[in-house]
Amino acid sequence: MQGWFAIDVEKDLKLIRLTMGGFFESATIVEMRARLVDAIASLGCAANDHLTLCDIREMDIQSQERVGEFAKLVGSDDVRSRRLAFVTARSLARLQAKRLTSREGVEFFTEADEALEWLTT
């Protein structure tokens, strides 16, 4: 399945909800990055002060090239969040997501409610 994403903004929580699914191409990652930058700017908070809940339960296993592109995206100064919670379903997808970053402030969950609670406490 072709890669897709949805971005929702919750201004009161300074929260970006990013949902992704399918198998991504580079062009989709570039588009997603541009939309993320716009969504983050709409929060009106200081740089890197927002929270991100990234739901990848419907995401396919990605190629090494795409994993590298996602790692650059996660670590880039203009989208990096104060805290990042990944919601994953399959253990293989979770292992792939864990390779994206080793920085502090990143956790992995199987339930979105648990991820949101961790982000906002």
For residue 87, the 8-state DSSP code is E
Q: pTM of the predicted model, to two decimals?
A: 0.89
User: Hey, what domains does the chain have and what are their CATH numbers?
Assistant: 4-120 (3.30.750.24)
Long-range CB pairs of 105-111, under 8 A, 24+ apart, other chains included: 105/81, 107/83, 109/85, 111/87
Nearest C-alpha neighbor of 30 from the set 63, 61, 76, 64: 76
What the block records as the tokens of 73 is: 């995206």
Question: What are the pLDDT digits (tens) for 55-97?
Answer: 999 998 899 899 889 989 988 999 999 999 999 886 656 666 6
Question: What are the pLDDT digits (tens) for 3-14?
Answer: 999 999 999 999
Angle at 36 (CA atoms; ends 33, 42), nearest 5 degrees: 150
| 104: three-class secondary structure by DSSP | coil
